[in-house]
């Protein structure tokens, strides 16, 4: 048996107390605890017990999830990676100092990480522009080329907002669950009731289009008509109809979320509007309570869940990464989707797992291996540089097709959680969780990974420089030297 991890919540308690303009004496009185006990908690000199954690949640409002360390750990991992990048910072900052920064000034850390993301996009964009117009130049020539800093890409800004919310949006999730119950939506029979709701409530009719081009749904507000691409399954039809229903019925809730997020421009707000309506549709297909009960019952077997709810495996994995409702949390998962070139098209996490924002994912991560074994579920225990271990599954999925000459899309998806949660998953039954025999050391990406002894490294470790071997004049044989 492993020992339970001690919980230190000092910085979060201090922030919540100061937001309410309470003194330590006031908080001690409200918790019926001594002033010295409160002081020890806020200075992380004393871990909190389960009973005290419940008291804190009661006094401050909300649930114990607001004291979760996962958001701080994810922010700390991203800050550590950013400051290892020698194009940003040339000195070394002690881990304890980074920890204090995330605890005491999380908003400033978030602002710095946003600037670092812009820097990474700028670096990639100017390199591509230089190569396109001037041919492939050396690093010295590239460094002489200047480019204006780009604004955040809309999809990244929206994705980051979802991640900051732990991928769970309570207002939309609850409304979607209520719709599924009131309309008696069941797997295989969701589309017809939704069509009736749209017809009766909004005068909107639904038709099918044989030649839809690249779109799945098109809404004509003047004619009050939704055209769906022909050939969609019942679940696919229901998803599209629920997306439009969310925009018509709950537009005020969606606009409120967009306003709260403070998105910067019209393109980002429009993409957020689409993402939020899609969130509602996914939550309607897989209502929170029933889906969580089913997931626990089959021990998160994604294929059994797929069969029961009659949706795709990707939809199941996507929904599993959102199950963080206060007082009814599922296993906190990360979810990722990438293509054979390593381009990441979906990434979200309710864990502290750190995804690379630029330069691709770690080549030792088993999600890449899935392409070599299509259709099979692969498992892996991986350890990040911060020492946290994760258990993950990966497999390929296909999209599109429908004809001999129609090309199909091929992706790999990865779903994982911290190793401590792995015993809840059927996929980990063959693994000794306490003493795993095969742990793969991975990182957030070669450009910023601190691991020096890695056989798959594509770039030198952070803070190191490649020197050409003077005997061979070859980059195949190289050594690392400090700057």
pLDDT in tens, 300-332: 999 999 999 999 999 999 999 999 998 899 999
Phi, psi of 317 (to 5 degrees): -65, -40
The CA-atom distances, in angstroms, between 147 and each of 117, 128, 129, 144 are 15, 11, 9, 10
Q: How open is the CA angle 334-335-339, to the nearest 5 degrees?
A: 140
Ordered structural domains, the chain, with CATH: 10-67 (1.10.260.40), 72-150 (no CATH), 153-285 (1.10.10.2910), 326-442 (3.30.450), 452-483 (no CATH)
Assess whether pLDDT exceeds 90 at residue 207. Answer: yes
Assess whether pLDDT exceeds 90 at residue 84. Answer: no
Write down the pLDDT at residue 472. 46
Write down the pLDDT at residue 121. 77
Assess whether pLDDT exceeds 70 at residue 272. Answer: yes
First to last CA, the chain: 45
For residues 325 and 170, the answer to whether their CB atoms sit within 8 Å is yes
Assess whether pLDDT exceeds 80 at residue 296. Answer: yes
pLDDT band at 482 (very low <50, low <70, confident <90, very high): very low
Write down the pLDDT at residue 347. 85
Q: What is the tens place of the pLDDT at every residue in 46-70?
A: 888 878 888 888 888 766 666 666 6
Q: What is the tens place of the pLDDT at every residue in 29-48?
A: 999 999 989 888 888 788 88
Q: What is the mean pLDDT of residues 242-253?
A: 96
Q: How open is the CA angle 137-139-145, to the nearest 5 degrees?
A: 75
pLDDT band at 205 (very low <50, low <70, confident <90, very high): very high
Assess whether pLDDT exceeds 60 at residue 474. Answer: no
Report the range out of 164-168, 324-328, 403-407 with the highest average pLDDT.
324-328
Provide the whole-model pTM. Answer: 0.72
Identify the bridge partners of residue 344 per DSSP, sorted by sequence position: 338
Alpha helices in 312-421 (DSSP H): 313-320
Write down the pLDDT at residue 81. 80
pLDDT band at 148 (very low <50, low <70, confident <90, very high): very low
Assess whether pLDDT exceeds 80 at residue 372. Answer: yes
Q: Count of H helices and E strands in the chain?
A: 17, 13
Average pLDDT, the chain: 83
Q: What is the tens place of the pLDDT at every residue in 109-133?
A: 888 888 888 887 777 776 676 666 6
């Amino acid at each position: 048996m492993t020992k339970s991890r001690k919980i230190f919540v000092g910085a979060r308690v201090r922030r919540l107390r100061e937001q309410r303009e309470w003194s330590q004496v006031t908080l001690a009185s409200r918790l019926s605890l001594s002033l010295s006990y409160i002081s020890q908690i806020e200075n992380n000199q004393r871990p909190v017990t389960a009973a005290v954690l419940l008291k804190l949640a009661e006094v401050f409002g909300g649930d114990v999830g607001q004291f979760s360390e996962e958001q701080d750990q994810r922010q700390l991992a991203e800050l550590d990676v950013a400051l290892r990048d020698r194009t940003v910072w040339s000195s070394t900052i002690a881990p304890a100092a980074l920890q204090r920064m995330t605890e005491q000034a999380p908003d400033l850390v978030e602002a710095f990480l946003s600037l670092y993301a812009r820097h990474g996009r700028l670096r990639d964009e100017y390199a591509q522009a230089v190569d396109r117009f001037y041919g492939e130049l050396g690093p010295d020539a590239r460094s002489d080329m200047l480019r204006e800093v780009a604004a955040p890409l809309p999809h990244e800004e929206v994705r980051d907002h979802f991640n900051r919310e732990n991928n769970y949006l309570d207002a939309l999730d609850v409304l979607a669950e209520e719709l599924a119950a009131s309309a008696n939506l069941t797997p295989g029979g969701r589309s017809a009731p939704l069509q009736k709701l749209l017809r009766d409530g909004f005068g909107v009719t639904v038709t099918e289009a044989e030649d839809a081009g690249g779109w799945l749904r098109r809404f004509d507000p003047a004619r009050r008509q939704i055209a769906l691409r022909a050939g969609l399954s019942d679940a696919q039809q229901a998803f599209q109809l629920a997306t439009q229903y969310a925009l018509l019925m709950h537009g005020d809730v969606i606009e409120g979320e967009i306003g709260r997020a403070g998105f910067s421009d019209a393109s980002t707000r429009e993409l957020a509007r689409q993402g939020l309506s899609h969130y509602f549709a996914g939550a309607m297909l897989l209502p929170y309570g029933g889906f969580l009960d089913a997931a626990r019952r089959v021990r998160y077997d994604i294929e059994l869940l797929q069969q029961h709810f009659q949706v795709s495996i990707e939809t199941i994995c996507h929904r599993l990464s959102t199950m963080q409702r206060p007082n009814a949390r599922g296993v906190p998962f990360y979810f990722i989707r990438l293509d054979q070139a390593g381009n990441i098209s979906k990434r979200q996490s309710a864990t502290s797992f750190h995804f690379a924002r630029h330069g691709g994912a770690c080549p030792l991560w088993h999600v890449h291996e899935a392409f070599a074994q299509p259709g099979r579920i692969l498992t892996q225990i991986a350890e990040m540089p911060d020492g946290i271990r994760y258990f993950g599954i990966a497999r390929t999925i296909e999209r599109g097709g429908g004809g001999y000459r129609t090309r199909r899309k091929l992706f790999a998806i990865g779903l994982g959680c911290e190793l401590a949660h792995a015993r809840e998953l059927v996929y980990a039954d063959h693994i000794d969780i306490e003493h795993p025999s095969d742990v793969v050391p991975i990182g957030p990406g070669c450009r910023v990974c601190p691991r020096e002894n890695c056989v798959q490294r594509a770039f030198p470790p952070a803070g190191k420089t490649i020197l050409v071997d003077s005997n061979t004049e070859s980059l195949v044989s190289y050594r690392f030297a400090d700057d």
